Amino acid sequence: MSPEVGAAPADGSSPRDHQEHSSSHSAGESHAHGHVPGLPEAVQVYDTTLRDGTQQEGMSLTVEDKLRVAEQLDHLGVAFIEGGWPGANPKDEEFFRRASSELHLGHATLVAFGSTRRPRAAADDDEVLRHLTNAGTSAVCIVAKASDLHVTEALRTSLDEAVAMASDSVAYLRAAGLRVFFDAEHFFDGYRRDPEFALRVLSAAEEAGAEALVLCDTNGGTLPDEVERIVAEVRRRTSAQLGAHFHNDAGCAVANTLAAVRQGATQVQGCVNGYGERAGNADLSATIANLSLKMGVQTIPADRLERLTAVAHHVAELVNLTLDPQRPYVGTAAFAHKAGLHTSALIRRSDAYEHIQPDLVGNGTRVVVSELAGRSTLQMKAAQLGLSLDSPALQRVLDTLKRLEHAGYHFEAADGSLELVMRAASGVRSGLDAFSIESYRVITDWRASPGGDRKAAKGAAGNGAGAAEDRLVHPWSSSGELTTEATVKVHVGEQRIVATAEGNGPVNALDAALRMAVEPHFTALHNVHLTDYRVRVLSSERATGAVTRVLLDTSDADGTWSTIGVSENIIEASWQALVDSVVVALVRAAAGTGSGETASDGGAAEAGEIAILPKEAAAATITVAEVEAI
């Protein structure tokens, strides 16, 4: 037998002993370090987002989506991309057909997934295996039952037949010239019940030519100490390459993957951002970072590690699922600091409250400000904005934040509104006074269609809903038309602009009218658009009189910002956030940090200026024609 990858060190100590000794460090020192003795030098990263990840509730990818996700995974530098199950559905059939001509992988190998032959069937007559050989990939992965319970209860066959299914299927695929990875499904549960059967399945696959034996914790309930024990026992029984595939039902998928690597596993499977059914799969973003930075095990090319955050966010956009901001390493809050004590230490030592340098994984330090903030937090935030706040200004900002947060504002989630508070306190007013509001008005009308309301009411009564005169007649149960119209009056320089717009609701109509009024005057607003609108009721015990908090996300070509409004009137809260979102774009343009040109007449403005359209007659009023917001 060849020397085992990841076997125990020659001095008799365990790989864990070596890791713990190597990972000790002095206070303030980065936790990242070199290779830990006793661990594999490198592992293969195998991403199964396009197959196992798509089983997550709420995730549905088109073929185009899958192709784009595969491109991002290749850009990251994973070794294998599991593309799906050819023959299982038309979408995966089309994916593999198009992948052969449209997917140009520079680093990764595309893998097709399937299962062993059916019980009591010949391998060369099995439809699943035939689809694998026709998928156009050089590598395949097949899943086989490694638990006696699942063989006898799910497959309804004998243990001997299950072993033969594994052996025959691998041999058939190897004879077709394919690389074969063997997923031993329910391996850890099966090993606890009947270790000899679980090992027989592995041996059959190895002898038939499987390249890697992947130990799967399909139910996701195994804990790290048991993973280390079982993988170590398997490692002593085989010289084949071992892989690890963990689900996260007990919250231990990444920890279990690291435990398996400590005992010699050299292929790690999982999904970017931890996608997958139930509680998901091992998060490859955290797995890669931990192995590379904490354990010194090579995963993806070293120069691609800094792509981790960008790829995680790009994939999240492609699959249309918002990335958890607290996702380790890659979340927007992964290196965010709120308490003043933390940020004061960060100013002196960046590693005081950060376990790695964020830029190693393409992320960055972020300071969020709330009523817990101290002077050092505000100073750091001001520095990020290019502002200089003296001591009285800092105190004014602190007092303002505490007063507003007591009223329901939440500035750690509204960086744009916070920026406006700090710019006003600094005395830098460029953009803050670009326009002023005279008034706004919103009208919502519902009008029943002629004769339609009474007919609907009679129809409902005839269906057992009660007499028409005794029941409430709701607009949505009657034929009619709902319209919303907003009018805003603003001043830009000497001009007075009145704009009216319709929308699908009061906030949409207000947004359209405000933009109609001010956007023609400022080119900095041409690429600005709302991306999210969120409402939270702060005092639900007051029912319809509750205080409401509105958060708006707004984007342009250079970034995204959030603004906030708080009021007992949801329209007023929305209006506050809307106006702030526009002002943030203007002040950033004035500071030279916004999007593109700021001149409104087509010419470039000087840095720090916000140009407006040529002034008309003094105090002129411009009425913008009413339009419907699309």
CATH number of the domain that 115 lies in? 3.20.20.70
Residue 280 in this model has a pLDDT that exceeds 80: yes
Other beta carbons less than 10 A from residue 496's beta carbon: 17
Please tell me the least confidently modeled range out of 237-241, 435-439, 574-578, 592-596: 592-596
**Residue 175: pLDDT over 50:** yes
Q: What is the pLDDT of residue 32?
A: 55
- Please indicate, yes or no, whether residues 291 and 341 belong to a single structural domain of this protein: no
Q: Residues in the chain, how many?
A: 630
The answer to whether residue 31 is domain-embedded is no
How sure is the predictor about 582, in pLDDT bands with cuts at 50, 70 and 90? very high
pLDDT at 478: 60
Helices (H), 290-429: 308-318, 340-348, 375-385, 391-406, 415-426
Residue 478 lies inside a defined structural domain of this protein: no
| 159-175 vs 195-208: helix crossing angle, rounded to 10 | 20
Task: Tell whether 397 and 540 lie within a shared domain.
Answer: no
Domain boundary among 269, 296, 323: 296
Give the closest residue to 624 by CA, choosing from 530, 489, 494, 435. Answer: 489
> Quick one: 206 and 154 in the same domain?
yes
* Gap between the Cα atoms of 485 and 627, Å rounded: 10
For residue 461, being part of any structural domain is answered with: no
pLDDT at residue 346, rounded to an integer = 59
**What digits encode the pLDDT tens for the residues 229-276?**
999 999 999 999 999 999 999 999 999 999 999 999 999 999 999 999
Model confidence at 611: pLDDT above 60: no
401 with 496, same domain: the answer is no
Q: What is the pLDDT of residues 38-67, one digit of tens each?
A: 899 999 999 999 999 999 999 999 999 999
Residues 185 and 272 in one domain: yes
Whether residues 392 and 511 fall in one domain:
no
Model confidence at 20, pLDDT cuts 50, 70, 90, reads: very low
Q: pTM (2 decimals)?
A: 0.65
DSSP, collapsed to helix, strand or coil, labels residue 83 as strand
Judge contact between 65 and 316, C-beta under 8 A. no
Q: Considering its fold, how many domains does the chain have in total? A: 3
Asked if 353 and 248 sit in the same domain, the reply is no
223 and 356 belong to one structural domain? no
Q: Residue 601: give its domain's CATH number.
A: 3.30.160.270
Spatial distance between the Cα atoms of 258 and 253, rounded to a whole number of angstroms: 9
- From 173-187, 297-311, 375-389, 567-581, the region with the lowest mean pLDDT: 375-389
**Residue 323 within a domain:** no
Are residues 505 and 402 part of one domain? no
In this structure, what are the phi and psi dihedrals at residue 366, rounded to the nearest 5 degrees? -135, 135
Question: Is 59 part of any domain?
Answer: yes
Q: What are 117-152's pLDDT values in tens digits?
A: 999 999 999 999 999 999 999 999 999 999 999 999
Whether residue 244 sits in one domain with residue 365: no
Cα angle 440, 443, 448; round to 5: 170
- Whether 347 maps to a domain, the answer reads yes
Look at 276-290, 427-441, 594-608 and tell me which has the smallest mean pLDDT: 594-608
Name which of 145, 84, 140, 75 is nearest 108 in CA terms.
75
Asked if the structure places residue 399 within a domain, the reply is yes
- The one-letter code for the residue type at 595 is S
Query: Does residue 304 belong to any structural domain of this protein?
Result: no
Please give the structure tokens belonging to residue 33.
């370090």
Mean pLDDT of the chain: 82
414: containing domain? 336-426
Helices (H), 151-251: 159-175, 187-193, 195-208, 224-237
**pLDDT for 342-374, tens place per residue?**
555 655 666 677 899 999 999 887 776 655 556
Give Cα separations from 309 to 55, 74, 351 (angstroms).
23, 14, 19
pLDDT at position 418 = 85
Query: pLDDT at position 277, please?
Result: 95
Residue at a domain's end among 376, 396, 426:
426
Q: 57: which 2 tokens?
A: 């509730």
**pLDDT (tens digit per residue) in 194-215:** 999 999 999 999 999 999 999 9
The stretch 510-524 carries a mean pLDDT of 91
Q: What is the pLDDT of residues 152-168, one digit of tens each?
A: 998 899 999 999 999 99
Whether residue 556 has pLDDT greater than 90: no
- The CA-atom distances, in angstroms, between 542 and each of 539, 545, 548 are 6, 5, 11
Other Cβ atoms closer than 10 A to 497: 21
Task: Look at residue 396 in the predicted model and tell me its pLDDT.
Answer: 84
The pLDDT of residue 394 is: 82
Same domain, 77 and 218: yes
pLDDT at res. 598 = 39
Taking alpha carbons only, the member of 303, 373, 304 closest to residue 337 is: 373
**Domain end (from 426, 457, 476):** 426
Are 286 and 391 found together in one domain?
Answer: no
